Structure 1
Amino acid sequence: MKKIILSALMLTGMLTFAQEGKLTVSGTVDVYGTVNTVDGPGAPGLLVDSPQNATMFGLGMANTIFTYETGKAGAVVDLAYGPRAADAAGLNGINQLYAYYSVNDKLTITAGQFNTFLGYEVISPAANFNYSVSYLFNAGPFTHIGAKLDYAVSEDLSLMLAVTNPHGNFGTGYGDEFAQLGAQVGYKGQYFNLAYGADGFGATDQLYLDYTGGFDLSETLYLGINAAYSSSSDAKSGYQGAALYLENSFTDTFSLGLRPEFFQFNGDANNDETVTAITLAANKKLTDNLNIVAELRYDSSDDNIIEYSTASGLFPGEDSVTAFTVAAVYSF
């Protein structure tokens, strides 16, 4: 009898919980196959921060997002596992974990761990046109832990202010580094981003400037743009670069894209090393949930900074690498 009563109480509580708020579950799963022109595994940008580990066939990441919203408040638990997630998602498989409160129709307060507001690309391959990521994506922060304010001034103009940990600090250690401050101004789909402060890796004055935006050149052709600059007097290093994203939809299920990119390290620590990359990608939707991405990418560097693996485990630099990758990305 006690078990029956307890089960009834639990069921009543679950029904009440479901009636008060809305729970949604979404996510992605991706796998790939790749070949290259060097003697060993590796494909730049394929596994985000460790491209030299990309094998002939491999796993990307499994991503599951739980969103619960009730009234003006909500919470997001974004879990990510796999080699790609291990490089970029942060602590213990947590890609994002935050709560938010909408003060009114214009102002929203968010606190927790959230993906960076810098840059054009994101961690999940389902949200990117290309399967591999750019050098600009790899160079900047992936996620932040802290709080931010988003304010919609109008339909066209938005503002954001953020105070976060140094982006390499996921709240598991202590240090005397000052927090990182962030800001964003968005106008008609163009976003100007700034972050300044400690980077969690020793620098206390790391500056990030970033422009992300794009334009519809026609009904089917889109041009995306990402340009960024970063520097630190403490670390005597930084980077600068730009990438274009040309994407044309030929049908509702097939599109082609071209991403040319130039990237350069700056400062005494890196000796102005440069790399260029040109990526041609084809996207084919087999179903509403399953997308196939075929990608041909050529990376070139006179400074031999392109990484790949050898049988001895060393990661020497290459002056150029061509990689062909086919990936399957399933979204639900």
Structure 2
Amino acid sequence: MKNLIPMLIMGLFATLPMKGQDTMAPLKISGSVDVYYKYDLRSGSDGLEESNINTSFAGDHNSVSIGMANLIVSQTLEKVGFVADLSFGPRGQDRSILNAKDGNSFHIQNLYLTYSPSKGLTFTAGFMGTFIGYEVISPVDNFHYSTSYLFTNGPFQNAGIKASLVISDKITIMAGLFNDWNVYHDANGLADFGTRLSLNPVVGFDVDFHLLTGPTSGTTVDVVSRYAWTSMWSTGVNFTVQRKAEMVPDYAGLALYQEVILSDALELGVRTEWFKYTNQNNGTGSFMNSGYFAATLTGNINLGPLTLIPEWRYDFSERPEFSDRHGDPVSSASQILLAAVYAF
């Protein structure tokens, strides 16, 4: 693996274009703004500050709260390009990762460079949203506003260098070397190896096989698939197994996503998820053998660039890990929310 790094760098610079070879292209600016109101049905207490369902984001109870303002600046020339993706607000920072030392709300979601020496081949280096999983940090690219247990427990970002090769219109492969999960700088260096095999055997069906492994991060095997039954109905699947990480519990989970387009203005989706922490003995005993089943019913009301997202969620746990309105442990929890996401 040590010899692979200089080989990648030498191959990259051997085919770099001379200065002035590419003509300038305009900057592209995009992003989003989101806010939400959530009510935890277990409580009845307006003083509750933390969510009863401890997945990422949408944690405030009985409050109109902000998600984040997301600003993406990018540019692509003939062979080279960059993406700078910045976020401001709790969804991008303290409800995510990598808090700034001074406690501000600034967070880098993506910051990377790309180089394509030939058609179908692209090198990418920098800090990138993870390739693991079905869901992402930005609410624009998720159907559901709340997130799954698989998303919350998996990596959010991977810093490193990767190469992606389009073999045909049905097969794409990616391989790279990365830091440990969610860090800009890793004292262990590029210790993780990650790869993806993307298949698109027929129109409307795609499946991605992911592997991410390293001495500290452990080994993650992840499968993401989506099938369009009709132009109005699609099914998504995410299956993940995580083993032998030093900082997070071992876990396994399966999530199913059903999405139906009722009209141009209205879509409905159901997410069902089974998730379980397993065989953990690294100081995270509170998660020992805990299992969950969650069902989420979500609507997307499309009003041009603005999407309203009403949602109802019900979670079950193998042990009584939630709380009722009196603070007593129970095995189920429920919440409703209404989010508004504006994309530009």
TM-score range, shorter chain: 0.7 to 0.9
* 1:1-332 to 2 correspondences below 5 Å: 20-39=24-43, 40-43=48-51, 49=56, 52-86=59-93, 87-88=95-96, 90=98, 92-171=106-185, 175-176=187-188, 179-188=191-200, 189-198=206-215, 204=216, 206-232=218-244, 237-269=249-281, 270-287=287-304, 289-306=305-322, 318-332=330-344
Scaled by the length of structure 2, the TM-score of the pair is: 0.81
**Structure 2: runs of 5+ lacking an equivalent:** 1-19, 100-105, 201-205, 282-286
Distance 1:302 1:308 in 2: 16
Distance 1:176 1:255, change over 3 A: closer
Distance 1:43 1:236, change over 3 A: closer
Distance 1:176 1:128, change over 3 A: closer
Structure 1 contact 89–123 (Cα < 8 Å) conserved: no
Distance 1:254 1:161, change over 3 A: same
Structure 2 contact 323–333 (Cα < 8 Å) conserved: no
Distance 2:323 2:113 in 1: 38
Distance 2:188 2:74 in 1: 34
Q: Which amino acid aligns with 2:74?
A: T
Scaled by the length of structure 1, the TM-score of the pair is: 0.84
Distance 1:170 1:309 in 2: 41
What displacement does 1:302 show?
Answer: 2.5
Structure 1 contact 163–180 (Cα < 8 Å) conserved: yes
Distance 1:214 1:254 in 2: 20
Residues 285-308 of structure 1, C-alpha deviation per residue, up to 9 Å, x if partnerless?
Answer: 122x00000000001113234489
Q: Which amino acid aligns with 1:295?
A: E
Structure 1 contact 53–309 (Cα < 8 Å) conserved: no
Distance 1:265 1:250, change over 3 A: same
Structure 2 contact 274–294 (Cα < 8 Å) conserved: yes
Structure 1 contact 141–167 (Cα < 8 Å) conserved: yes
Distance 1:181 1:134, change over 3 A: same
Structure 1 stretches of 4+ with a deviation exceeding 6 A read 307-310
Paired-residue identity, %: 31
Distance 1:36 1:234, change over 3 A: closer
Structure 1 window deviating more from structure 2 (213-222 vs 122-131): it is 213-222
Number of equivalenced pairs:
303
**Structure 1: runs of 5+ lacking an equivalent:** 1-15, 199-203
What displacement does 1:168 show?
Answer: 3.5
Distance 1:44 1:24, change over 3 A: farther
